[in-house]
């Protein structure tokens, strides 16, 4: 039996009010029948903004991008196991990012489960593969507390999944007290850095032996980088950032940092000769993929590893920055961190290439921009050309699950409506979650998307070589190479964008890209620029 | 260490040759780095056709559609856990359809797993939620046998998932014998119908009491329907098909059948008064979703249920048809099945509506068409208007996981290159897997897609009422209703289709739809018609 019309007292209402009380006021949603009572409750809790996505991977990627910028979780609303499955890939990226996300997954009514109706599947199994916390609400009286617990779990820097059966959502709450708004318990204060670990790291820094400080998690924000630079300046250690940071603050006024390379040979070269590797919010470096005859573990032979703060939980606790600041006060008390000067490249002209496109971005990136980077091989020039741009944030593909860019840009723009979002997006990756453009338009988000259109899964051409597979091709390898080719037929991203309400234009010169980016900046709302670039390998 | 260039002797080569020997010659693929050796091996086994999808849900939906028509499995090629996650929703539909699918999921090298690299996740957990069979190959020498076992498992009418670590794919096969091509063992002959079950069903048919025969699985093909009709004609029983058949043969010359309604009230009305319910390849009927105050179990009070053949495995074994033929020979030895006459509706004119669009489809559906139906609320008129069309196959959304239509049409067209495929597709559902259109164009598939464009998740407007949620809306419910509205901005499916290489046009009259369908039929390759229709509920 359902609650009386207008009565707030059902599970869905309790869920929304509990989420709001715990600071969750944004929900990226793709609902279905089992979520109708959640949807109906939205008008009773108007402080919660519901953003519709046309595909669940957009909702989950948006929640990831949102949390990276808002520093608090958004909720998603997903429809049973298949909806969670559709959202899995970007939840995987959020898991690897350590961002807090609260999934609400609607399920069949508890009374319906035994009939194994067509949409039924093992939701906890799917959720468990990507969530640090999973719970199913079994009674409307429990929902408020379950939601508060989900938010608390997410705040530890993980994906928390709450399964909400339809009847638990629609049933009235019998005891009036149970409808009381619950607050998520505050996160436990993070444990201080372990003195012995700090002492060991301090000894490594001051040993006079080659030392690398690898920063990740929260330590790729400005404060952590400043502390890292003080240590480096005082001791001669080198600082590197993890390959795919959750949120890298950079540009003029921020202590600059190079990232550990994705390419295994380059990463090995960066770390060669290191005698001490200090980890602050970063995991011990491993190659992204295994390659025949190459090491997976990137720590050089004979190098000692000293972890002063874990990756896990660092995004939400700031533990790595705290450790670095304590270390810097210990080892480099009077040292001041160097910061990057404002230094943009000149605007290039001529045919668009990966290099000239990167220079255009570096020349025009606006103050306070949020860059969502899924440019893959087309973005290789970007770190250098944007290092001296005005201060900005750089969000990366933390879990390697492509299709993250357009959704994460959605969430970042919702979190920071006053900041311009630049989504630098490879063409192949864009197609996994292309419908995010519709949400850009629907919400009027200030997102400028550059699609690097090279008609290929260009990175797989490199990987075909790297894995030794290219050497095993029979004949001319045409059938294999066709699977890495996106040119037949050629995608038209201007048509795709305008078909979803986003103004778009195609450019093939550097001056064309610059003009298009300026036009986009001059107008409110989303824009897309299709940048025709040659692939790295033909 | 990898095998010598040109040598066929590695795990990837063994996999492809074993698949081919077992009759799998089609692979719907979206590869990544860990699948590069599989990709490289394709040129050495040119009998296997690899079809590229831009998103894994397209690949898995295509494998489902392929198997429904080819009556044998295709393979998919997916990239680690996130790729499998992206493919989950359409694998869920395949699981509910009972279609055979062989997933090949690439994984990190076995030596790499302990490093928990960014793309690592619990693949068996995700696979287990949607597969009847899961195995990880642990040695290249085992791969051929593992592939044969996967095909054998799929042939039992289920999703079989083989996890292939990158090193197992690239490592050479040491023992030459292990590279021998293996054949999947033939499926065990299906057990004959149980005599006691047949006797009980025969007694029900001849009891003189109200009897309904519910057919599903293989029994919705022409032979099963013919046997069902013989039983009905001889005994006065009524025949109904399951709500969402895997493959329903129908049209002129086939015994006609109504489907059990999706809407719970209508389904209850269809079954009211039934004293005996005989199940042949169908599950005992339950409502798709639970609704407050309504039954989940659709079997009327006091009705006896007699199952003569299970749903599971029926698609690949023909067990339900065999049981019905045996029953018909027993109960209705001299009876001939009635078949539908050729009877098309006249071509309507005037504004396009759900009804007039259905009449146009009924008037023009070509002989031998394969209809992939994800029309949802816009297709309510189709069963009636197409009942007398020339003989055709009708594929439906078996698992309720939307985004199935465009991918399944892909697979059906690959399986049956000489038959026209009509994909009748709702707009909201289309957006989950819209990139399938690119594969339609790339492969030059003879698919005519009609997108019913009503700017809404129209079925959710019904479900908002059905679930009682509409009665709980606060104020005008504008925020809730906005989550069911797709009109702002309005999608432009002509732009989306042409942006992916599929010629397209928009129509808003019945004569416009007819003309567009005729133009599409006159030209080879894919087409899309955007049919502007009003939603069922405003």
Question: Which of A11, A38, A56, A85 to substitute to test the interface with B, most B CBs within 10 Å?
Answer: A85
| Phi and psi angles of residue B404, each rounded to the nearest 5 degrees, phi first | -95, -25
| A480 with B438: Cβ contact below 8 A | no
Do B264 and B291 touch, CB atoms closer than 8 A? yes
**What is the four-CA torsion angle of B452, B453, B457, B458, rounded to 10 degrees?**
-70
Span A317-360, pLDDT tens digits: 999 999 999 999 999 999 999 999 999 999 999 999 999 999 99
Tell me what pLDDT residue B514 has.
Answer: 98
ipTM exceeding 0.95, yes/no: yes
Shortest Cα distance, chain B CAs vs residue A189, angstroms = 27
Selection from A106, A38, A27 nearest residue A67 by Cα: A27
CA–CA separation, B400 vs A117, rounded Å? 10
Do B198 and B267 touch, CB atoms closer than 8 A? no
Percentage with pLDDT > 90 across chain A: 93
Shortest Cα distance, chain B CAs vs residue A93, angstroms = 8
Span A454-481, pLDDT tens digits: 999 999 999 999 999 999 999 899 999 9
Do B102 and B59 touch, CB atoms closer than 8 A? no
- Mean pLDDT, consecutive 10-residue stretches, chain B (538 aa), reads 51 95 97 96 96 98 98 98 98 98 98 97 97 97 95 97 97 69 73 90 97 98 98 98 98 98 97 98 97 96 97 95 97 94 98 98 98 96 98 98 98 98 98 98 98 96 94 92 95 98 98 98 97 89
Selection from A60, A92, A83, A55 nearest residue A73 by Cα: A60
Tell me what pLDDT residue B48 has.
Answer: 97
| A489 with B89: Cβ contact below 8 A | no
| A31 with B460: Cβ contact below 8 A | yes
Tell me what pLDDT residue A186 has.
Answer: 74
Strand pairing report for A370-374 and A421-426 = parallel
- Which structure tokens are listed for A105? 């997954």
What count of other Cβ atoms lies within 10 Å of the Cβ of residue B138?
A: 13
Q: Identify all chain A residues contacting B469, using CB atoms and an 8 Å cutoff.
A: 36-37, 39-40, 170
User: Any residues with CB less than 8 A from the CB of A245 and at least 6 apart, and which?
Assistant: A216, A220, A259, A394, A396, A398
CA–CA separation, B41 vs B18, rounded Å? 12
User: Any residues with CB less than 8 A from the CB of A248 and at least 6 apart, and which?
Assistant: A220, A241, A257, A259, A393, A394, A395, A396
Beta bridge partners of B27: B50, B75
Tell me what pLDDT residue A9 has.
Answer: 84
CA–CA separation, B404 vs B397, rounded Å? 7
Q: Is A280 helix (H, G, I), strand (E, B) or coil?
A: strand
CA–CA separation, A203 vs A197, rounded Å? 10
| A32 with B401: Cβ contact below 8 A | no
Q: Identify all chain B residues contacting A46, using CB atoms and an 8 Å cutoff.
A: 479
- Scanning the structure block, which residue is given the tokens 């909720």? A75
Selection from A378, A323, A302, A322 nearest residue A531 by Cα: A378
Tell me what pLDDT residue B5 has.
Answer: 37
Tell me what pLDDT residue A400 has.
Answer: 97
Do B250 and B280 touch, CB atoms closer than 8 A? no
Residue A8 reports pLDDT greater than 90: no
- Which structure tokens are listed for B255? 């015994």
Do B300 and B271 touch, CB atoms closer than 8 A? yes
| Phi and psi angles of residue A208, each rounded to the nearest 5 degrees, phi first | 80, -5
Shortest Cα distance, chain B CAs vs residue A312, angstroms = 13
| B498 with A492: Cβ contact below 8 A | yes
Span A266-281, pLDDT tens digits: 999 999 999 999 999 9
Strand pairing report for A421-426 and A392-396 = unpaired
Question: Which of A75, A289, A477, A498 to substitute to test the interface with B, most B CBs within 10 Å?
Answer: A289
CA–CA separation, B519 vs B516, rounded Å? 5
Strand pairing report for B248-250 and B392-396 = antiparallel
CA–CA separation, B463 vs A422, rounded Å? 38
Beta bridge partners of B394: B248, B371
Shortest Cα distance, chain B CAs vs residue A51, angstroms = 8
What count of other Cβ atoms lies within 10 Å of the Cβ of residue B310?
A: 20
Beta bridge partners of A449: A423, A528
CA–CA separation, A324 vs A320, rounded Å? 6
């Amino acid at each position: 039996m359902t609650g009386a019309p207008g009565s707030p007292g059902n599970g869905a209402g309790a869920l929304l009010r509990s989420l709001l009380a715990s600071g969750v006021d944004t929900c990226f949603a793709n609902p279905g029948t089992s979520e109708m009572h959640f949807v109906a409750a939205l008008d009773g809790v108007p402080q919660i903004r519901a953003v519709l996505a046309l595909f669940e991977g957009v909702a989950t990627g948006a929640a990831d991008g949102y949390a990276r910028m808002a520093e608090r979780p958004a909720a998603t609303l997903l429809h049973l196991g298949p909806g969670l499955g559709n959202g899995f890939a970007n939840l995987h990226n959020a898991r690897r990012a350590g961002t807090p996300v609260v999934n609400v997954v609607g399920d069949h009514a508890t009374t319906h489960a035994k009939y194994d109706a067509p949409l039924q599947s093992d939701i906890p199994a799917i959720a468990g593969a990507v969530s640090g916390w999973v719970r199913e609400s079994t009674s409307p009286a429990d929902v408020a507390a379950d939601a508060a617990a989900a938010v608390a779990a997410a705040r530890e820097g993980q994906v928390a999944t709450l399964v909400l059966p339809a009847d638990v959502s629609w049933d009235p709450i019998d005891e009036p007290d149970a409808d009381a708004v619950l607050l998520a318990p505050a996160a436990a204060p993070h444990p201080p850095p372990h003195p012995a670990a700090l002492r060991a790291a301090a000894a490594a820094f001051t040993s006079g032996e080659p030392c690398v400080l690898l920063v990740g998690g929260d330590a790729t924000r400005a404060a952590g980088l400043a502390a890292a630079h003080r240590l480096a300046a005082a001791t001669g250690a080198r600082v590197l950032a993890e390959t795919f940071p959750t949120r890298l603050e950079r540009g003029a006024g921020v202590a600059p940092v190079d990232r550990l390379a994705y390419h295994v040979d380059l990463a090995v070269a960066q770390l060669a000769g290191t005698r001490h590797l200090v980890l602050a919010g970063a995991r011990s470096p491993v190659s992204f993929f295994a390659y025949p005859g190459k090491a997976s573990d990137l720590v050089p032979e004979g190098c000692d590893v000293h972890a002063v703060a874990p990756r896990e939980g660092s995004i939400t606790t700031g533990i790595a920055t705290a450790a670095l600041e304590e270390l810097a006060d210990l080892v480099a008390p009077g040292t001041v961190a160097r910061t990057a000067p404002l230094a943009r490249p000149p605007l290039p002209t001529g045919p668009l290439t990966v290099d000239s496109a990167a220079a255009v971005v570096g020349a025009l990136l606006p103050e306070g921009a949020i860059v969502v980077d899924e440019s893959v091989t087309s973005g290789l020039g970007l770190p250098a050309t944007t290092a001296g741009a005005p201060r900005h944030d750089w969000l990366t593909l933390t879990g390697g699950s492509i299709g993250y860019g357009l959704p994460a840009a959605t969430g970042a723009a919702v979190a920071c409506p006053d900041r311009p979002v630049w989504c630098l997006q490879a063409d192949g990756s864009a197609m996994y979650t292309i419908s995010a453009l519709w949400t850009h338009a629907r919400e009027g988000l200030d997102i400028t998307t550059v699609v690097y259109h090279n008609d290929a899964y260009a990175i797989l051409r490199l990987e075909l070589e790297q894995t030794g597979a290219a050497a095993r091709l029979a004949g001319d390898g045409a059938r294999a190479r066709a699977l890495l080719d996106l040119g037949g037929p050629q995608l038209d991203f201007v048509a795709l964008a305008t078909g979803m309400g986003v103004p778009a234009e195609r450019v093939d010169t550097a001056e064309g890209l610059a003009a298009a980016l300026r036009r986009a900046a001059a107008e409110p709302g989303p824009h897309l620029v299709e940048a025709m670039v040659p692939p790295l390998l033909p």
